[in-house]
Amino acid sequence: MAKPTFLQCALCGNQQPYEPFVPAACKHCQSQWLEAHYDYEAFKREILRGIPNRPNNLWRYQDVLPLENPSALDLYPAGGTPLWLSARFAPNLGHGSVYIKDERYGPTSSFKDRQAAVAVAAMNENGIREAVIASTGNAAVAYAAACARAGIKLWVFMTSLVPQEKLREAALFGAEVIRVSGNYDQTKQIASQFAQRKNLLLDRGASSVPARESMKTIAYEIVEQMGWRAPDWYIQAVSGGLGPLGVYQGFKELFAMGLIDKIPKLAIIQADGCSPMVQAFKAGKDVAEPVIPDTRIIILSTGDPGKSYTYLWNLTQQYGGLMESVTDLEAYSAMRALAKSEGMAVEPATAVAFAGFEKLSKEGKIGADEKVVINCTGHTFPVEKHVLGDQWAVDVHLSKDQSPAPREGLQAALENLDEKTTTVLLIDDNDDDALLIRRLLEGRKNYRMYHAKDGWEGLATARQKLPDLIVSDLTMPGMDGFGLVEELKLDPRTKDIPVVVVSAKDITMEERGRLNGHIEALYQKGSLPTRKFVDQVIHVIEEKNESKSGVQ
């Protein structure tokens, strides 16, 4: 039997019985943060025995999950995910003890599978056959899959901003999908009103005991996988905050049982465009003010974290930690870096956590010798297009049907492929100017184009793509065009890539001297000589291609 022996208020310490699916609130002080307590002595004995005959998933820790009789249920599998030591991503930043908790190995590839597994098992145990959930994507898909197996009808409310593929995936599992033309906070309100009107169970996320308790199994797995040791840091990107709230309940239970000697410091990472927790943390406040989400990473678009932030704030004050935000661009950059260094495709929400680690590492806030665990959840599907753009592959058309191509057709296709793989990198913070230059070039030749919006992004793209030509602006935020050209020429990988500069400002003699010998040509945007510019670009590329092929 694993039913909680009692609930205890985290604020006043009052104890009261556990009632499944009754909105948790302290009967003494009305606090909504009640912690479930179990027979920890009995569970500790099982752990010391090696937890024999238990599955390698979250049900391994069923003694501390809120179910009356787990063994009597057909339990939905989740958890049991691997813990990888970062082989290249973290070492490239000077860290040798960074571990990746890879939650992509769940039934629907996110840590929300844990939440769905426990919540739906509790529904089954209590005879609930219909439920409602509001979600930014991953939880909806996880619940839809778990409810499908349990035979529970699920109503899913998602903002229409969620990628359509996730909406369709939830529908594929049989859920009734309701698209709401509004933000996530408004979607939650509509879902709540719908559940009340139809007298249905509404999954309440962080305030739901089964949902929150499910997440502590992440802590149990991490500690067991690390040889019953705790890391120095646990890092997670958050929207509403359910994940780390539950994880830290696990760390606290392990510490109270004497199975670990410390509780890790907590790093909470948010997207810049929706970072109410980070703003409050940096202002030294224990209550977060709601914000209007302005990020393309929709999964992290909870503008009003409510009490969850206060509970997370208390964790950082008690055990140490911090909160930081990163831009969407930094997240996408980390997403690419993780794929190329670790062979791991993750969604942007997870990339936010890795970008946050990179930022905190460079600022020296996480020591190089500290053991770090980063929560990794969600596959890139369906967001590759936001990272790779439209030109992520080159098409080779051999014939209209599937018959073998004639020799002449094959030769033409190969010549076409040679032409298509001529790449040009545009580096310009002005989208309109970049579009104009792109159209000028594509009007004459079928180039493969990449666009970077500042010098730092341009330098990273140049090193990654090794284009045939770089067309760059001079005046940009961060690293300007002068610094970019100097960095390109210092790097053996990029020093031979020709650069054409297109500037919006007048160039002084001193500035011309800085560029002299490093660029192929310089043009003024206001009086851009179209034909001369395009001819010059084509000439530079042809010369480079000739030198590649050995033609003198």
Domain segments of the chain: what residues? 83-103+216-386, 422-549
Quote the pTM value: 0.71
Range picked from 43-47, 161-165, 449-453, 517-521 for highest mean pLDDT? 43-47
Where helices occur in 382-493 by DSSP H, the ranges are 384-388, 407-420, 431-442, 455-465, 481-490
Q: Which helix (H) or strand (E) holds 131?
A: strand 130-135
pLDDT at residue 49, as a whole number: 93
pLDDT at residue 417, as a whole number: 43
Say how far residue 146 (Cα) sits from the centre of its chain: 23
Of residues 286 and 22, more confidence is placed in 286
Using DSSP bridges, classify how beta strands 34-37 and 6-9 pair: parallel, antiparallel or unpaired: antiparallel
**Whether 80 contacts 117, CB under 8 Å:** no
How many CA atoms does the CB half-sphere of 380 hold within 13 Å? Answer: 16
pLDDT at residue 405, as a whole number: 46
**For residue range 317-338, what is the model confidence (pLDDT) as tens digits?**
999 999 999 999 899 899 989 9
pLDDT at residue 547, as a whole number: 62
**For residue range 132-146, what is the model confidence (pLDDT) as tens digits?**
999 878 899 999 999
Task: Count CB neighbours of 259 within 10 A.
Answer: 17
Backbone φ/ψ region at 213: left (φ over 0), alpha (ψ -120 to 50), beta:
alpha
pLDDT at 551 over 90: no
pLDDT at residue 3, as a whole number: 84
pLDDT at residue 61, as a whole number: 95
Fold match between domain 83-103+216-386 and domain 422-549: yes
pLDDT average, residue stretch 526-551:
61
Question: Per DSSP, what are the bridge partners of residue 353?
Answer: none
**For residue range 49-60, what is the model confidence (pLDDT) as tens digits?**
999 889 999 999
pLDDT at residue 94, as a whole number: 95
pLDDT at residue 550, as a whole number: 53
**Whether 14 contacts 28, CB under 8 Å:** yes
Sheet of 448-452: strand order equals 448-452, 423-427, 469-472, 499-503, 521-524
State which amino acid sits at residue 372.
V
Render the burial of 120-134: b for 16+ CB within 10 Å, e for the rest: bbbbbbeebebbbbb
Helix (H, G, I), strand (E, B) or coil at 299: helix
Q: Residues 185, 190, 195, 197: is their CA dihedral positive or negative?
A: positive
**Distance separating alpha carbons of residues 22 and 16, to the nearest angstrom:** 13
State which amino acid sits at residue 58.
L
Q: Which two tokens stand for residue 373?
A: 């665990």
pLDDT at residue 548, as a whole number: 53
**Whether 120 contacts 152, CB under 8 Å:** yes
pLDDT at 412 over 60: no
**Distance separating alpha carbons of residues 235 and 354, to the nearest angstrom:** 8
Q: Which of 127-136, 222-231, 274-283 has the lowest mean pLDDT?
A: 127-136
pLDDT average, residue stretch 283-298:
91
Helix (H, G, I), strand (E, B) or coil at 499: strand
Backbone φ/ψ region at 171: left (φ over 0), alpha (ψ -120 to 50), beta:
alpha
Per-residue confidence at 293, pLDDT binned at 50, 70, 90? confident
Q: Which of 21-35, 254-268, 501-515 has the lowest mean pLDDT?
A: 501-515
Q: How far is CA 292 from CA 183, 274, 303, in A?
A: 8, 7, 6
pLDDT at residue 263, as a whole number: 98
pLDDT at residue 411, as a whole number: 52
Render the burial of 37-54: b for 16+ CB within 10 Å, e for the rest: bbebeebbeebeeeeeee
Homologous superfamily (CATH) of 422-549 is Response regulator (3.40.50.2300)
Per-residue confidence at 400, pLDDT binned at 50, 70, 90? low
pLDDT average, residue stretch 451-473:
86
pLDDT at 272 over 80: yes
User: Following DSSP, what letter does each residue of 507-533 receive, concatenated?
Assistant: PPHHHHHHHTTT-SEEEESTT--HHHH
**Distance separating alpha carbons of residues 540 and 330, to the nearest angstrom:** 32
pLDDT at residue 414, as a whole number: 44
The DSSP symbol for 289 reads P
Of residues 47 and 486, more confidence is placed in 47
Q: Top-level CATH class of 83-103+216-386?
A: alpha beta
Residue with tokens 């739906």: 120
- Tell me the pLDDT of the chain averaged across its residues: 84
Residue with tokens 């929706």: 274
Sheet of 233-237: strand order equals 83-85, 98-102, 372-376, 233-237, 265-271, 321-326
Of residues 389 and 7, more confidence is placed in 7
